[in-house]
Structure 1
Amino acid sequence: MSSGGGGLVDGYRLVVFDLDGVIYLIDRPIPGAVEAVARLHAGGHLVAYATNNASRRSAEVADLLTGMGVPARADEVLTSAAAAAEVLRERLPAGAAVLVVGAEALRAEISAVGLRPVGRAEEAPVAVVQGYGPQVGWADLAEASVAIRAGAMWVATNTDRTLPSGRGPLPGNGSLVAALRTALGRGPDLVVGKPEPALFTTAARRAGGADCLVVGDRLDTDIEGACRAGLPSLLVLTGVSGVTDLLAAPPQARPTYVSFDLAGLFDPDAVVRVPAGSPAGEGWSAQVRQDAIELAGAGRPLDALAVLCAVTWAPGPAAGEGLPVRPVGTAAADALRALGLPS
């Protein structure tokens, strides 16, 4: 998108946000997030939050958001912990024992659906549910390994390899799932959270099937989940995935739009649709050479990004995936710096 016309959000009734890396980073709101959500509410838009973080219940997340200045209700929050509990409730008899590897919030969700959370394989669990918890350790994984080898169904709330922090990406639940995968020689029987589409389709269903835009910071969870759900998506560059990741994204994890932050919801000059219609447009052109992609021209860095996506995502031998980008001229070098690419 470029100058002129209304904001991106004008085309959607419901906006579904990821949380970590989009609305907040650990326990602090990302600059502009509070104002963006307030503006959506003021404009009559519906808002929902879909998070793979299984360490908090929906009401706790809503309280956290409200404490940051983002008014939120528990029914606007969809967590992978609650979704996993619902899946197990549908598949297991009432009162069935479920070994919980994760935070207290996950245990509470299991209890809330009439199942019995346990902590040891000796209690004969019929299922293991695994979610992120900062205190999860070797002993927890060992109990899960024993239970799964004995025949328990293995459900993971999500498989995010990392989670964002003020010190950079830290190991997420996917890293802990990978440890069990290595020990068992196989993966979970079921993964509930993003990139599975359930959280997004549930949000849209609760909103009466309203036109929905997904906003996330991770290509491998938020954006791929939106793609699987058949929903348009906006990648914001405030969290895990950066421009280098975007250029290398496989078809199933490519967003519809990209912006540096949530200003892209409202300001046409702060968002771009990707890829560009061709490797030339909006003042930029890109060509694949043997050792690099050459970017030339002038204009918005986001338009340069759209052109670069057109080149690197192109099918066939002319595609530039994996090649470095080389600027031609000062304007191109400035654009690459703005995008966080070597110039």
Structure 2
Amino acid sequence: MTRVYLVRHGEAEGNLFRRAQGQYDGHITSLGEKQIALLTGRFRDVPLQAVYSSDLSRSVQTAQGILRAHPELEMKLDKRLREVHLGVWEDEPWGNIEHEGPEKLYYFNNVPEKWSVPGSESFDALATRLREVILELAAKHEGGEIALCSHGMAIRAILLDTLRREGREVNPGHGDNTSVSVLEVEGENIHAAVLNDASHVPTELSTLARQEWWKHEGSGELNNMRIEPLLLPEEKEIYTDAYADAWRFAHGNLEGFEPQPYYALACRHAQAHPRALVKVLRGEELAGVVELDTQRISGGNTGWIVLLYLTEKMRSRGLAVQLLGHAVSVYRSMGRSAIRLHVSTENKKGIAFYERNGFRQVGIDAGVSAPLLLMERPI
């Protein structure tokens, strides 16, 4: 018998930004790095013979955490351990997906064998390729113990397939980031011995503990915001009100604020790229505005963020990172390697937010009412 440890990757950008990332190659987050460090400790006393990983970077980085407990081993990559291909859903905000097709999202979360969208991989095909690679690697390491790093829906697919073959009416649910399932493989038989165990991750470092969508059988959750174009001139008032409120939040007053020059620039930005000027909605309520200057290349191959704005009602809810996710999505698709922005030295909360999310100060420039920190984040 071969013991197979099936490990979900640490928290990645798709989890944080609330975007659908199947075979889209998103990065591990700072929380994911902490989860992976705990995974290292979990595997320190497990006598592994081999460590395999999907070739997607979030899985590779997770496998590297296991290898820190076993420096004598080398990672081996296998594309069959990849996440399900999400077709037209790839890198779309979950809020948009739910708004445009709530039934499809319900199937994806609750009855995945009924789910499909244009260009996607079927759940049956996903389960088949996972079963194939698990049986092959288990036979290669017969009688040993191996770790396979993979992805949430891929792991769910093989667990459901295995449980049904065993005649067990058990719903494995959704595994947390770095959760570990244990499969016992003998010949063509797979037994699911442990399902989605994340006992090494305390609640304060759990990804699922911060989310609601998996706790009920609805299609999604209200905090998955959607992103739509902000149309000018039709929605000029939304834009100018947002910029004025952002200015007031950063500086404490509207001294020095002149709306017309900013509006004129916004019109140019919107014409330059279809995703450069967007409104962010929570349900049907305006939650924020994002503005990007896609024609400006600052500091080499860097994308410029003009405005990340949340309405006062939406602040301090952990939602702002989804706006950042939009900027990352746009500029990564354009081949940019980093993003930059200005933040007023008076905007202490803004500075703290950007630092928490991977920005560092690379300069300081003059501003209308206070100096502006120039901050940069690799993408």
**TM-score (normalizing by structure 1):** 0.29
**TM-score (normalizing by structure 2):** 0.26
